[in-house]
Amino acid sequence: MMAKRTKDLIYQGAVEVFSKRGFGDTTMDAIAEQCGVAKGTLYYNFKTKEELFTYVMRRGLSQLTDRLRQALLSTEDPVHKWVRAVESQFRFFEENRAFCHLLVQKIWSADVQGQLSVQEVLSEYFQLLDDQWAAAKARHWIDDRADVQTLSGAFFGMVVIPAARAVLHGGAIDAPERVRTIVKMILRQMKGVSDDELASLGD
């Protein structure tokens, strides 16, 4: 129990420091101070900054992917499925604003190196989305010519970039109007979703 609590403290502190300082300017000393643990404790759990950064990214992305999986598998209804998916992602980022900021740094900033590639940290997330879009094609819910990987990438961009902008401007990530806008953009890919259904979302 104590070991888990210590790792939880280290994770939360590391996310905060990596997010604020970037990978290059972050030190293990700064992380230990933020976590409120002794340097020896930090080095006992993680031998290097790269190892800790890898742990932080894997853990955060695993939690984000779990939220998405729960939402996508909670219903077979094609409309509710994607409504819940978008809501789950914005809710996660609202609860984990520092990780949202860190994730964007990892993807776009040359400062964040570490030992983990973007492709690796997001592979499970994108596979989950690819499978869902492929199933939608098989059921003829979307255009048979639609490219699954492009749809998955578009979904990721539509939730991560607005969330990151909200963090930078200090706004609410899971604001209802933001959720409603993204959901409508996604559902326009679905066959049989009427304009009336789109207009009623969030009402």
Q: Summarize pLDDT for 132-184 with one digit per residue, the tens.
A: 999 999 999 899 899 999 999 999 999 999 999 999 899 999 999 999 999 98
CATH number of 53-201: 1.10.357.10
Q: pTM score, two decimals?
A: 0.89
More confident residue, 55 or 195: 55
Q: What is the pLDDT of residue 197?
A: 63
Task: Return the pLDDT at 2.
Answer: 46
Backbone angles phi, psi at 131, to 5 degrees: -65, -40
74-100 tens-digit pLDDT: 999 888 899 999 999 999 999 999 999
pLDDT at 58: 92
- The pLDDT value recorded for residue 116 is 64
**Annotated domain spans of the chain:** 1-47, 53-201
Give the pLDDT band of residue 47 (cuts 50, 70, 90).
Answer: very high
Mean pLDDT check: name the lowest of 5-14, 58-67, 68-77, 98-107. Answer: 98-107
* DSSP per position, the chain: -HHHHHHHHHHHHHHHHHHHHHHHH--HHHHHHHHT--HHHHHHH-SSHHHHHHHHHHHHHHHHHHHHHHHHTS---HHHHHHHHHHHHHHHHHHTHHHHHHHHHHHH-TT--TT--HHHHHHHHHHHHHHHHHHHHHTTSB-TT--HHHHHHHHHHHHHHHHHHHHHHT--TT-HHHHHHHHHHHHTTBTT--HHHHHHTT-
CATH classification number, 1-47, choose in 3.90.1660.10, 1.10.10.60, 3.40.50.1470, 3.40.190.10: 1.10.10.60
Average pLDDT value for the chain: 88
pLDDT mean over 18-44: 93
